[in-house]
Structures are given as C-alpha cells and as structure tokens.
Amino acid sequence: MKFSYSLFVLAYLGHAAPVWASNLAKRDISSCPGYTITSKQSTAGGFTVNLELAGAPCNIYGNDILSLNLQVTFDTQNRLHLHIQDTDRKQYQIPGTIIPLNGGGGVSKDNSNLKFDYFQDTNTGFGFRIKRDDEVIFDTSGHSLIFEDQYIEVTSSLPSSANIYGIGEAPDYFRRDTNNTIKTLWNREAAGEFGKNSYGSHTIYMELRKDKFHGAYLHNSHGMDIVLANNTIQYRILGGTADFYFFNGPSALDVINQYTELVGRPYRVPYWSLGLHNCRYGYKDIYEVNEVIANYSKANIPLEAVWSDVDYMDNARGFTFDPVNYPLDEMQKQLEQLHAHNQKRVLIVHPAIQHNVSYAPYARGDQAGVFVKNLDGSEYITQVWPGYSVLPDWFAKNADSWWGGELTRFLSELSIDGLWIDMNEPSTFCTGSCGTGRPADEVPPYPWTIPPQSHRPLNTTNKLLVPPYSIHQALVELSDSTIETTAINAQGLAEYYTHNLYGYMHSKATYKFLTQYRPNVRPFLLSPTTFAGSGKYVSHWVGDNHSNFFDLHISIASMLDFGIFGIPMMGADICGFEDDTTEELCARWAEVGAFYPFARNHNAYGAIPQELYRWPSVAEASRRALGIRYALLPYIYTNLQLAVEKGWPLARALIFEFPGTSDAIDNDRQFLVGDSLLISPVITEGATSVDALFPQGIWYDWYTYSQIQGKNKNITLDAPLEHVNVHIRGGKILPAQVPALTTTDSRKNDFYLIVAADANNCSSGKLYYDDGETFTTDHRWIDLKYADNMLFINQIEGSYTISPPLTKILLLGVADVQTVVVNDSHVNGNITNINGASIIDELSIDLNKRTVVSFDF
C-alpha cells in the first residue's frame, strides 16, 4: 500500500490550482545575457574554463551568479563529465558521502570516444557541444546558459521526432513525446497519475540515433522540469549546479552499463525474491492471512512470500503488532509454518514515528536528536498514519544507529525475511508542521474523512516555500503531501535542497542495517521512492496503480524505464491496487505480472479480493504463466547476475535488442525477458488475439515449439483468456529447471536446456548459479554453445557445486534426432520429435564438468 490519501488530496486542498499554472507566461528570457569565457586551462584529465556573466543580470527566477567555473573530465573512454558550478561554491551539491560516484580512472581526451567543444556566440554567449565521432549528441548552440541561485537553465538541440527514453518517475509511454512533454522531478506520493511527477527522481535519458544509443545524466537533487519541445531538451532546475555526465553507448545496454558504473550497480537479490508475492491492504486479521496461504496451496499456484500492510500494526504505529488481530505469538507461529514450507514473510515499515513520549521509538529518537526540525529548532511534526508524527533526519549523525536499533528490536521479536519501507518521499497527510503545539495523544481525523479544506495562503515572500520558478508538479505547493521545504536537517540545510534524497537515504540506511544485522544474508528491500543509485539498495514497484487496462499497459513502460534507471528488480501490483479489478483484467495482469522481475499481487482497502485463486480463469492463467516463470528461474537469475555485474536490465524493450527495427521504436506493449524470451501479452479489454511484432529471425512458440519467421512485422496471434504468448528467440539457449511451488523446491529439481537454433543451426547462452542466499557464496559460470549438431557445456569460472543433473534437452528447430552421444558415449535417452523439435529426455549430465553432447540423425 501507499495510501488512499492520494485520491483525495486535491479535494482536501480545495482544488486550488498549482502554483506553476499562474506563472507560465513568465518565460521571456531574451534579457538573459549568457556568459563569456575569461580564461581556460588544460588539466591532466581534461580542462577548465572560467566564465563571467556577459551583461546585466536578468534575475528572471533568482539572482544571476556572476562568476562560474566549468570543468571537463574524460572519466573513461565512454564517459565524459561536464560540471558548471558557481566559482564561490555556495550552491548546494550532493555530497559524495551521500551518493558516492565512481569517477573512473580517467583517460586523455585523445583516448576518449566523446569529444568536447565550446564556443562563444555573439547573441547567446558561451555554449558547448558533445560529439561522438562526427555526430553532435548534445548541443547548446542558440540557447543562453542561465545560472541563478534558484534557477538554472541548460538547453540542447534535438533532431526532429527524436527517440528519447528515460527521465522520470512519471507513468508514461516508454518513448517520450518530444513535441510537448514536461517531466517534473519532485518526489511525491501519487496514485498512477499519468504523466505527473510521482515517487522518484531520475534524470538519466537515452537517445537512439542512426541505430546507436547515447545517454546523459544530470547529478542534482533539486526539483526540476525537464522539457521536451521545439526540438530541444531543456533543463529548468531550482538550484544547485549543472553537473552532467555523458555516455557514449553505442548500444542501449552499453549506456546502462556506463551509467550504473557511475552511480552503482544493482544489488544482489536473494533467490527467493524471484517467486510470487501476495499482499493486500485490508486483511482483517492473521487468520484471514492464513486462509489465503492455504488457498494458494489448494489452487496449486506458487506462493513464495506473504506480505502484510499496516493492518498488522497496533494503531498504525511502526515496530508494533496489533494485540487482537495480529498478536505476536500468532505471527511467530505463522512465520514458523511458512519457513517449514520454504516460504517467506515481509512486513511494511514507515519512517514516520508517532509524536508521543510514551511511544518508545519516539522517546529514543528524541533523546538521540534524530528527527527533522523546524527553523526555530523545534521538532517538525506532521500527520501520518499513527497521527501526529515526526520524521527521521537521515543527515543526523545518530539517525542510522537509532533506526537500526528500532529494527533490531523489531526483528528480534519476529525474524521476517524482507522489509517494505514505504511512504518515504516522505509522504504526509497535511501541509506544513500541522502537529506543532498539538497534544501528543491527539489522533486527528484523516483528511479524506472530513469536508474539503481550503489550501493555506501562498507565502510568496518565502522563496523556499514558493520559489520564483514553479516546477510543474501536480499539487499546489512543493510542500503539499510531503515534508515542508523550509524544514531543517542536521546539516542546517532546508528540505528544499535535499527533498529528493530522502527516500534514497532511508533505503541506504536500511540496507546498511540489514547487511550488518545479518552479515552474510542478502536483504530483500522494497521502496517506492528512488533516486540515482537506489538500485544498489532496493527493489521497486510502480506504487498505487489502478485496476484498469490502461495502467496494465503503462506498467510495462514503467518497468522498462526502471531498467534504464539501474533498478532492474521492478514490477507493479498485479491486477491493480486502487479500485475493483475484474476477472478478465486480473487474468491478463497475472499473465504480464508473471514476467515482471518483481511479481506481487496487491490491492487496496475496500476493493474486492483479487488473490490469484479467486476465479477459475485467473487461477489457470496464473498456473500457466507462473509455471513458465518458475521453470526459467535459472535463466532469470543468470540475467540478474548480469545486472549485478553490468547493470543490464532483466526486462528489456525490443528496441534495446533491435535498434534497427523501426516498429520497435515505440513498442511498449511487448517486452523481452533477458535477450531471449519475448512476451506478447493482451493488454486490451475484450481482446482474444494480439498483434505482436516479431523482429528479424526465427522465434519458437513456448508451448508448441512451432516456428515463426520474424520479418520486422506484426503477426496476429490467438490469445484466449488463459493464454499468454511467449516465444523463444532463435540463436539462444535458456537454462531451466522443473518448476515447483517455491523457489527452494524448484532449485532441487532437474535442469533442462532449451536450445533454440537460428537459421545457421547455432545458438548460445550462459548459466550462472550460486547458493542464492549469501554474499560469500561460491558461484559457477557456464558457457553454453550449440553448433554443428553439437552442444558444448563449458566451465568458465567458479567452484559452486550444482547438485541436480541436466536430464533433458529441448532442441528447437532441429528435427529427427535419432541418437545422442555424451562425451563419446552413446546414451539411452528418450527422444521425441514434435513440430520440428527434438526432445531428448532421461539424460544424466553433470553440470559441474565440461561436456560435449552430439546429436546424430
């Protein structure tokens, strides 16, 4: 759950217009003079340029800064760092202690694949270009640099109808509309509001030109608009510096690799997190949760992890258990039973702490001085689920240890397997410090339970509350439904500067605690709020989506977005969170959700139940789709290891793998799992077929092994309600195991290989395997190749022992195999020929040894 408050916030605020709606006309920047170059100097890894304001200050949205310094560093062969900052270094920048960046070893400009060129224009002043070979990929020509204390504007030209991907978080189509799009980055709780700013902030984007990708990232925590219009990309930033990184690519995976090398690789998730998760806001007691667990088992639907929302808490206070409906002893019994059946338990925890001296977590935090303050030094008190609440200040020196102490006490009572840290935008129910001066034991009504209230008058004299330039965030003020921008952290900094870092720092603190509390156990951590580098610590989901086919569609685009953002473990609430689902929608969503990297069914308080066993068609659709997922766990896990090592996403847009296919440019209705598995779901109500794009090559139907000759065209496929179309890419080998109802039991079962031959009768793949639990585990990388009617299983590295044998090979596109030879010895395997495929069963091959399998006809 996030919370139903998001549906009522505009009513609560009296339908007041957002601030930006009244000052859109204030965009005449013709009086801004730009900057002129006063000196330049070469350095070992690049050079610096000093800039001075070229004329009278325009002060359009703040105070022009007169003197700037530009530094260019060639970090790596494929990454260029350009940083424009105020000479006096007074503007806020993200400390390296908060988000450490990998600067790279540095190369000479002659050894860089990216080139930097600067110039002085008579009309617009200083400008610069970034080049790849002879192509300019970022160009500020014709656009003045504006650099003020509360406003920075950098503009680059784009080709007509540019192919831009990334920038968010906001629900949107995967390919951004470059004619009139404003991406606003200001973290807030949001319920699937299309195109509007929501939980996280990510400036990274990729552009596809001439079948090659490149990328750019702005390292800045301030609120901002990134505007795509008039063949430009324009950054309008509420302060800080212009700290840019440019990535050469040239493939999409190269850009993501280069970006995550900078901000941090995704964390290593535990194997169990790849199973199906179930939750809802509104389970009345633990006994109802026990019924749900039993019903999944009865329906023969996999269930890996059981989650609870705030229902389990005592009056919504964190680190507590409802003594009547979720008594601790019953929770402990349930956990014991779950673990006995190889299942896991996850609970929600919020950062907001009830402001009450009799509540121990507050008393300890107050003593340690870890809560956000008002300007006068008093505690900032807002309203959240438990009533008037304070918020941890992650900049405070004792905050991490206090938070870890509360979690230690909590986990000592119930040793759950994963944590869901929620509402860390941070999200609140009022504007400003509404609890200041109120009795600690007072529990105010939730705002959606009372008549709509008028919004407070705008304090336009306070430029941190109402900055001169108002970004296009969805609410009236920046402070609405979150912490006020004038609140102060332990560094003496206002929330205005650091707001977008709050959830990142919360995630970092929680991950740090978990790795210390259980030193050699991989944590599983889910957070709604993310920033650049959050993938090092957390998984993510789209938040409070709606139960409709449009949000089902957009969930695919959001999943692909987060592959760019470096957070591959991503999903959406299956069947939708808000509103009532339908049988058809739930079945179709289960078919998509089975292939999300993070697969969880979850819905809102008051909505009808939507567990996957509720309807026969949904249960059957789930069994089929999840059966594929659980069979392909070794393939999925292998690809997630590539995410750990290279940042590569598990869920991929077709354009990532087929950049020369024009129909793939805006395709967010299909997706690939890894590079080998094509998912073509129904995302339209009432449809029983789907028009699926098949890029050039051979594709094999998962169920029948029949071939489709891809010609970069759409093909209409039958898709009855309980069926999702899945195809295997020719030229690829997918490792698999016989599926069970949990990941632990699946790991015990026999392996098999799906060998999908291409037009040259060749294919390749890899298998990565380890214990799936610890950091210090041994591992094993295996290289798989098929050519000349022989399968080669080669050991690349590692000493982890894979216990189950390889007992089956599905040789797709290769008919009429008669005999099989394993390492020069004939074997008596059972061979079946189906639709041009040869299925060899009853083998017993040790995956820990080099093996050659020959197929004779």
Give the count of beta carbons closer than 10 Å to the beta carbon of residue 24: 9
Helix (H, G, I), strand (E, B) or coil at 507: helix
Helix (H, G, I), strand (E, B) or coil at 72: strand
Q: Is 285 a catalytic residue?
A: no
Tell me what pLDDT residue 24 has: 45
Kindly report, residue by residue over 103-118, the tens digit of the pLDDT. 999 999 999 999 999 9
35-60+64-147+150-263 against 651-856: fold identical: yes
Quickly state the pLDDT bin for 174 (edges 50, 70, 90).
very high
**How many other CB atoms are found less than 10 A from the CB of residue 760?**
9
In the predicted structure, residue 816 carries a pLDDT above the cut 70: yes
At 453-470, the pLDDT tens digits run 899 999 999 999 999 999
Interatomic CA distance for residues 780 and 263, integer angstroms: 27
Q: Among 215, 173, 104, 268, which residue's Cα sits nearest to residue 564?
A: 215
Which run of H or of E encompasses 163? strand 163-168
Helix-helix angle 502-517:399-413, to 10 degrees = 50
If you average pLDDT over residues 47-71, what whole number do you get? 96
Name the residue type at position 283: Y
Q: Which residue has the tokens 């290891």?
A: 641
395-424: average pLDDT: 98
Give the C-alpha separation, 791 to 770, whole Å: 23
SS3 367: helix
Q: For position 20, what pLDDT does the model report?
A: 64
Structure tokens at 766: 């890899």
Whether the predicted pLDDT of 173 surpasses 90: yes
425 is catalytic: yes
Which residues does 675 contact at the CB level (< 8 Å), separation at least 6? 652, 657, 729, 732
Convert the pLDDT of each residue in 625-637 to its tens digit. Answer: 999 999 999 999 9
The predicted pLDDT at position 854 comes to: 98
> Residue 171 pairs with which residues in a beta bridge?
none
Rounded CA gap, 198 and 219, in Å? 19
Write down the CATH number for the domain with range 35-60+64-147+150-263: 2.60.40.1760
CA distance 336 to 332: 6
Residue 259, number of CB atoms within 10 A of its CB: 25
| Tokens 């640099």, located at residue | 145
What is the distance between the alpha carbons of residues 633 and 113, in angstroms, rounded to a whole number?
A: 38
User: What is the Cα gyration radius of the chain?
Assistant: 27
| Residue 780 dihedral angles phi and psi, to the nearest 5° | -145, 125
Is the pLDDT assigned to residue 10 strictly greater than 50?
no
Contact 179, 229 (CB under 8 A): yes
**CA 361: distance to chain centroid?**
30
**What percent of the chain is helix, strand and coil (3-state, nearest 5)?**
20, 30, 50
Q: Specify the CATH architecture of the domain 651-856.
A: Sandwich (2.60)
Q: In the structure encoding, which two tokens stand for residue 132, read together? A: 């790849």
C-alpha–C-alpha distance, residues 16 and 13, integer Å: 6
DSSP H or E stretch at residue 182: strand 180-185
DSSP assignment of 234-281 equals EEEESSS-EEEEEE--SSHHHHHHHHHHHH-PPP---GGGGSEEE--T
Asked if the model's pLDDT at residue 188 lies above 60, the reply is yes
pLDDT value at residue 11? 46
Residue range 540-584, pLDDT digits in tens: 999 999 999 999 999 999 999 999 999 999 999 999 999 999 999
> Residue 7 pLDDT more than 50?
no
> How large a percentage of the chain has pLDDT more than 90?
94
HSE-CB of 499 using CA atoms within 13 angstroms:
32
Q: How confident is the model at residue 742 (pLDDT cuts 50, 70, 90)?
A: very high
Predicted TM-score (pTM) of the model is 0.97
Secondary structure of residue 436 in the 3-state scheme: coil
Respond yes or no on whether the N-terminal peptide bond of residue 250 is cis (omega within 30° of 0): yes
Q: What is the pLDDT of residues 305-351, one digit of tens each?
A: 999 999 999 999 999 999 999 999 999 999 999 999 999 999 999 99
422 is catalytic: yes
Residue of 254, 417, 425, 477 marked active site:
425
Over 50: is that where the pLDDT of 784 sits? yes
State the Cα angle at 193 between 189 and 196, rounded to 5°: 80
Task: State the residue for tokens 């190889």.
Answer: 342
Q: Note the pLDDT of residue 440.
A: 79
What pLDDT band is residue 162 in, cutting at 50, 70 and 90?
A: very high
Secondary structure (3-state) at 831 = strand
pLDDT at 21 over 80: no
Q: Catalytic: which of 393, 495, 544, 591?
A: 544
pLDDT band for position 439 (cuts 50, 70, 90): confident
Which pLDDT score, from 0 to 100, does residue 16 have?
A: 65
Whole-angstrom Cα distance, residue 6 to residue 240? 30
- Residues 118-127: contacts with CB under 8 Å, at least 24 apart: 118/37, 118/49, 118/70, 120/36, 120/37, 121/34, 124/34, 125/33, 125/34, 125/35, 125/36, 125/54, 126/34, 126/35, 126/36, 126/37, 126/49, 126/51, 126/54
Q: How far apart are CA 238 and CA 170, in angstroms?
A: 19
Residue 107 CA to residue 79 CA, distance in Å, equals: 10
Please determine, for residue 226, whether its predicted confidence score (pLDDT) is greater than 50.
Answer: yes
pLDDT digits (tens, 9 = 90+) for 41-50: 988 788 999 9
Average confidence score pLDDT of the chain: 95
From 261, 417, 422, 578, the catalytic residue: 422
Q: For the chain, which residues make up each domain, given as ranges? A: 35-60+64-147+150-263, 651-856
